[in-house]
Every structure is written in C-alpha cells, then in structure tokens.
Structure 1
Amino acid sequence: MAKQKLLIGFHAVTARLRQDAAGVTDVYVESARRDRRMQDFIRLAESLNVRLHPVDAERLRGMAGTDRHQGVVARAEDVALALNLDELLDGIEGTPLLLVLDGVTDPHNLGACLRVADGAGAHAVIAPKDRSVGLNTTVAKVASGAAETIPYITVTNLARTLRELAGTRHLGDRHCRRHGKNALRRGFQGPGCPGDGRRRRGMRRLTRETCDELVGIPMAGGVESLNVSVASGVCLYEAVRQRRLKR
C-alpha cells in the first residue's frame, strides 16, 4: 500500500486535486460550514469523484492537530519526487534553478519558500539535514500545494553541495543591480540561487566560503533584513529575469 500523508486547508488540498486527484483517497470537510468557498470546493471534489466525508470540527481538529484547518483535511498518497540531488539533476534539461536554504528552522518560513520556489519555476529546494525543519503538515499547509510539486532535498554536507552554486546573504559583498549585471551573472544565470535562512547570523562560514559569488539585497528603509521567503522571492525572480534576457 502506498504511503499516505495529510493535506490541510483549501489551498493544499485543491492544488493536489488539480494536480493528481487519483492520488487523493479521502477528503474530510466540516459539515457545519456551508459558505460559498466550501460549496465550490465540494463541487470540485465531487466532479473529480473523490470520496467526501462530512465530519464535525472536533474530528478535523484531531486529524490536523490544529484549529487552523479551514474545514478541509485530506488523505493522499505521497507524490514521487526526486529524493537526492543526483537524481534531480539527471532529470533536468538545461540549466537548473535551485533554492538553497541554510538554517531555516521555522515551518512557516519553509512553506513560504516552497511556494515562492514553485511560483518562480525552481527545480528544487535544498537544505542541510542539521538545523533545518523537515516537511510536516504545517509546511504543507503554508506551501499551498507546493510541497507536492517541489522536491525538498536535504544534504549531509551543504558546503560540498554548494561548490558549483552561487550564494546570497544579507548585506553581502555586492548589492543586486547596484553593481551592474556582472555582479550577479554567475549567481543568477548559473546553476543555482541559494538563499539565506537565518536573519541575524547569515549563512554559516563554510557555506559562505564555498560560494562563487556573494550578493546582498539593498535595504533602503528602516528594517534591517527581509524574511527569508521574501528574500528568496527577490533572488529567484531576478534569476528568472536575467535568464530570460539572456535567451
């Protein structure tokens, strides 16, 4: 029997239904919720012949482990994504776009990073096995379906993995755009776009020393730094912009 996982919330469940409804075995919906959003969701699930189970809020809370389930929980088969970097790179034609996170321990941050990586068309998110959050129901909910589409690959030695990739860090040695395109040419048109995961410490020393290029995002206001998912979005979409211009 295929391994199953829980999907929580409208976004995560709807994204999986549209991607692979056959892999969704059961959907549980809050019977007391009758608003338009729920009715639209039920119609979608019924049109895809997915088994629906009306249950009370207490049952959903027990399944999800939280009150923030929006009235929707689903059981679905695990999606077969690349499990390691070699497997991933073997399946990519052209230049890969990878988001590398160092020290992201908050599941909400990881979920948001997966979502922005999916939106930018990244091939995977990579993180070290130590001092990083793993995939869980909170990550999947915040990712709004991206946890089902973007491989999340953990590596034992991040510095070794980064040898051929470029790096970014808060207040790095070069600023985006300020020093011209050459400052970002290798990092944003090359094989990767790593992102910083710890606001105050930045990337670890070995990670920084392994990067071909260090760049930073200029901060023109009063705040000292951006959230890791926001910074990841800035860098990923700059990478996409430069690659399109190059083509």
Structure 2
Amino acid sequence: MSRKLRNIKPRKVNRGVFEEQQQREEKQLQNLRALLFILPLVMLAVLVVGVFFGYKFYRNTVHEKSPVTPSQAASENDTPSDPMLLRIVNSAFTMEASYVPETTPCFGKALSPAAASALEQMIAAAGDDGVKLKVTEGYVSYDELQQRYEKSVEDYRKKSDKSLVMAEAHVKKSFPPAGENELQTGLLVDLTADSDGYFGDSSAFTWLTRHCVDYGFILRYPDQENAGGISYSPHLFRFVGKAYAYEMRALDMNFEEFVQYAKAH
C-alpha cells in the first residue's frame, strides 16, 4: 500500500451539525403537518363565510325592498299625530287591560280605521299584480288574548311535557300574553296567501316586503330574535302610516330602533 493511502484518515462527522440538520428536518416536517391540518380548516371557514354572504345576497335579491330615499320619506310631510302608531307593546311596555281602540270591519276582522283603509288599498293593489293576500288576524281584545295565550301554554305542556315556566317561555316567542301583544292595538295584521311552501319564500311575501311601505305598513318582526324575544314572522305587518314607514325604510331601521330615533329627534 502506498504511503499516500496509508496517510488518508477517516473523515470525522461533526455530531453537532448532524443533530442540527436533523432538528431542521423534523421542524420542517412538523410545519408541513400543521399546514396540512390548518389548510382544511381555512377552506371550511372560507366556505362557511361564502355560504353566509351568499344566503344574505339571495335573501336581499329574492325579497328585495323598493328603495326609498330620505327625500321621498321627507316628502310625506303629513306625519300622523296618533301616538299609538309608535307605541311599542311588549313585556317591558305593557298595554292596559282597559285599552280598546276604535275599529272598523276589514276582511272579516277588525282594525283601526286608518289601518283598515290602507290594508284595503294594499290588498287591491296586490290583486292587480296577481297576488291574492288573505287576512287571518286583526284586532283582538285583552281578555281574548289572555284566553288564547293560556290555552296555547296548556296545549304545549301536554304535547311536550314541559314545565309551566318553559311552556310559557316557548309560547311567548310567537304569541305573547295579554298586555304584551300588539294585536290589542288594532294596528297589527296577520297576512297570508295560498302557497305550496313556506310563506316567507313565496311571491306574495316578496310583493309585501317591496310594497308594504307604500301603504304605511312594515314587517313587524323581521329578525330571528326581535326585541322582547319575539321570533321572526313573515306574516305580521304593523300599520305605522306612510310617513313613518318610508322613513324607517330610508333609515334601514326596525320598529324599536325607529321609535328611539324618533324620540331623540
């Protein structure tokens, strides 16, 4: 063996460098695993957000409201003087048992004269557009409201086997007791139409949401959980007069918000 070959020594491996490289590779692997875990979550979040905003766009498109500008609202300068038009009725602002409004017959029910006249015009206009609206509820007295409420609570208890407190909490969301129910005002009306599916998805409801303000009506409970804990209802429309209805739409306010706004102005 030559002297050169005998002088070649084995190359020593730097243990520190090797361990550092191994740690880098393990860290890269951990980062990759974390990325593979997070990426599906991010994609799911994007999908959920897309569906949410897509649904909102669909609702706004299908149930598009007729636009009202502040100038149009202001042009209705005959602001009604009837304080009942902006009277909130709920568990915090109860109605006296003795209150009985002036009413007039309207499609087999009873409503305040102003609301009845406006409703007749609105239903006639809807009919001209091929929409046949039906009135299922109008003014209801304090005593009758209480009787209906108590019966609804009892029926729900029998069906669900819930306690009285839970049954009352459930019923109040859709039918408040006497003193907390706006049907006593003679200004709230329950509307429906023949439909194969859910009324809130019907062409009749679309027509109402677009044109109700033209006759002084607003959708009373437009959100899933309204003030007082009342559930969303596509059937209940409240008469407030054209001036207030136009202004609410121009300001994009619900009834409770507008009442507070009106008090401040």
- TM-score, with structure 2 as normaliser: 0.22
Q: Which has the higher contact order (CA 8 A, sep 6+)?
A: 2
Structure with the higher fraction of residues in helix conformation: 2
- TM-score, with structure 1 as normaliser: 0.23
